[in-house]
């Protein structure tokens, strides 16, 4: 098996910003409640008519430029999302076409907010086995289009964005050192868009009842999140043969500052090693980790050889963790 790592990152968020003050005019809420319960101050929202593929494309061209890889070199394009352009075709096909990735296979993968880590695990297998050389993985969401803007308990939480990473072979012993993935479909109804699929196909009634929007049992998801974030991080570290003391940077899923703080405390990792941007973006689901990772790279917070721990939870229910030994050098020749 070859060692596989990230050799380029890129991210994109739409320019329109929705602040807590804006939300105060839309639903019965206030900045103080949102800030203390979630840590979120603002989120970016895609304009009407702007689909997910546009965000994916923007993040992808930045990641390809960062990796100095041309679209023609891509063997596979993957999009991780719960807010695709269409039920089908896959958004990854649309993005690959726009990029001009003519040789690439393309598919979408859905694992809620854990999507990016599921995608990194899946995409890297193709390279580890020698089947492919270059894989583009994109975690992206336009959750603003799935939110019930009259439901104050959910509409304050989510934002739109996309983060991309180029995967290639890296020096032996670098790159992804472990993946820890899990799922519990028994908790699926805690976080769900119930309408529009084959269980409840779209009808005038499903639309009137807002079944095409996000339904969430917030406090149940919260308890699950705090438990699973800590457990998954510990398992991912153990699989990599490392301990919490070895972690240079923790990139957790950005759902809620209280979930991040509680998980970090349980793990016993110093808060100055934790990337937090939930205040500026809200919960971008599958885009959350790759956007935070890209910002950390561009801020000079990740160096060659650093141990980066990523951990997420999400709809499914799903969870995922990964330990990455940072290596910028891609496949030569």
Residue 283 catalytic? Answer: yes
Q: Cβ of residue 204: shortest distance to ligand ACO, in angstroms?
A: 27
Q: Cβ of residue 262: shortest distance to ligand ACO, in angstroms?
A: 11
Q: Cβ of residue 38: shortest distance to ligand ACO, in angstroms?
A: 5
Assess 215 for contact with ligand ACO (CB under 6 A): no
Residue 246 catalytic? Answer: no
Q: Which is nearer to ligand ACO, 7 or 23 (CB)?
A: 23
Q: Which of 134, 118, 127 is nearest to 76 (CA)?
A: 134
Using the contact rule CB under 6 A, the part of the chain among 93-101, 213-221, 274-282, 289-297 near ligand ACO is 213-221
Assess 213 for contact with ligand ACO (CB under 6 A): no
Q: Which is nearer to ligand ACO, 162 or 216 (CB)?
A: 216
Contact 59, 11 (CB under 8 A): yes
- Please, what sign has the CA dihedral across residues 288, 292, 293, 295? positive
The only residue of 96, 283, 295, 323 in contact with ligand ACO, by rule CB under 6 A: 283
Contact 78, 50 (CB under 8 A): no
Assess 191 for contact with ligand ACO (CB under 6 A): yes
Q: Which is nearer to ligand ACO, 134 or 285 (CB)?
A: 285
> Can you say whether residue 133 is alpha, beta or left, with left for phi > 0 and alpha for psi between -120 and 50 degrees?
alpha
Assess 77 for contact with ligand ACO (CB under 6 A): no
Q: Cβ of residue 22: shortest distance to ligand ACO, in angstroms?
A: 13
Q: Which is nearer to ligand ACO, 250 or 255 (CB)?
A: 255
Q: Cβ of residue 95: shortest distance to ligand ACO, in angstroms?
A: 21
**By CB under 6 A, what part of segment 32-51 binds ligand ACO?**
33-34, 37-38
Q: Which of 56, 155, 256, 283 is catalytic?
A: 283
Q: Coil, strand, or helix at residue 178?
A: strand
Burial of residue 198 (number of CB atoms within 10 Å: 0-12, 13-18, 19+): exposed
Task: Give the pairing of strands 215-216 and 76-80.
Answer: unpaired
Number of residues engaging ligand ACO in binding (CB under 6 A): 23
**By CB under 6 A, what part of segment 302-331 binds ligand ACO?**
314-315
CA distance linking residue 179 with residue 166, whole number of Å: 17
Q: Give DSSP secondary structure letters for 193-238.
A: --SSSSSS---HHHHHTTTTS-EE-HHHHHHHHHHHHHHHHHHHHH
**By CB under 6 A, what part of segment 104-123 binds ligand ACO?**
112-113
CA distance linking residue 167 with residue 134, whole number of Å: 6
Q: Cβ of residue 155: shortest distance to ligand ACO, in angstroms?
A: 8
As given in the structure block, the two tokens for residue 101 are 């990735």
Contact 305, 325 (CB under 8 A): yes
Q: Give DSSP secondary structure letters for 72-91.
A: GG-SEEEEE-SS-SSSSS-H
Active site residues: 113, 253, 283
Residues that bind ligand ACO (CB under 6 A): 29, 33-34, 37-38, 112-113, 152-153, 156, 191, 216, 218-219, 221-222, 225, 255-256, 283, 285, 314-315
């Amino acid at each position: 098996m070859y060692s596989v790592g990230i050799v380029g990152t890129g991210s994109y968020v739409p320019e329109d910003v929705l602040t807590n003050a804006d939300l105060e005019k839309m639903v019965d809420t206030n900045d103080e409640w949102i800030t203390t319960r979630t840590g979120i101050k603002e989120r970016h929202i895609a304009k009407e008519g702007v689909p997910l593929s546009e965000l994916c494309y923007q993040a992808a061209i930045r990641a390809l430029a960062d990796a100095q890889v041309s679209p023609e070199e891509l063997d596979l394009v993957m999009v991780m999302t719960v807010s695709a352009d269409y039920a089908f075709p896959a958004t990854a096909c649309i993005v690959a076409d726009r990029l001009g990735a003519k040789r690439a296979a393309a598919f979408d993968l859905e694992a809620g907010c854990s999507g990016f880590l599921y995608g990194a695990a899946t995409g890297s297998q193709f390279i580890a086995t020698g089947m492919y050389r270059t894989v583009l993985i994109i975690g992206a969401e336009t959750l603003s289009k799935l939110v019930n803007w009259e439901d104050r308990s959910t509409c304050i939480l989510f934002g739109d964005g996309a983060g991309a990473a180029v995967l290639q072979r890296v020096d032996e012993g670098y790159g992804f050192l472990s993946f820890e993935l899990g799922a519990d479909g028994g908790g699926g109804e805690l976080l769900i868009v119930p309408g529009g699929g084959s269980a409840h196909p779209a009808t005038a009634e499903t639309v009137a009842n807002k079944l095409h929007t996000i339904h969430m049992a917030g406090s149940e998801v919260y308890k699950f999140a705090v438990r699973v974030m800590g457990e998954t991080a510990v398992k991912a570290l153990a699989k990599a043969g490392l301990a919490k003391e070895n972690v240079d940077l923790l990139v957790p899923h950005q759902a809620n500052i209280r979930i991040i703080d509680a998980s970090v405390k349980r793990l016993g990792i110093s808060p100055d090693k934790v990337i937090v941007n939930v205040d500026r973006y809200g919960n971008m689901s599958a885009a959350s980790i790759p956007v935070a990772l890209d910002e950390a790279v561009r801020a000079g917070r990740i160096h060659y050889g650093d141990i980066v721990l990523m951990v997420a939870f999400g709809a499914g229910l799903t969870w995922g963790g990964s330990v990455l030994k940072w290596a910028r050098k891609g496949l030569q020749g």
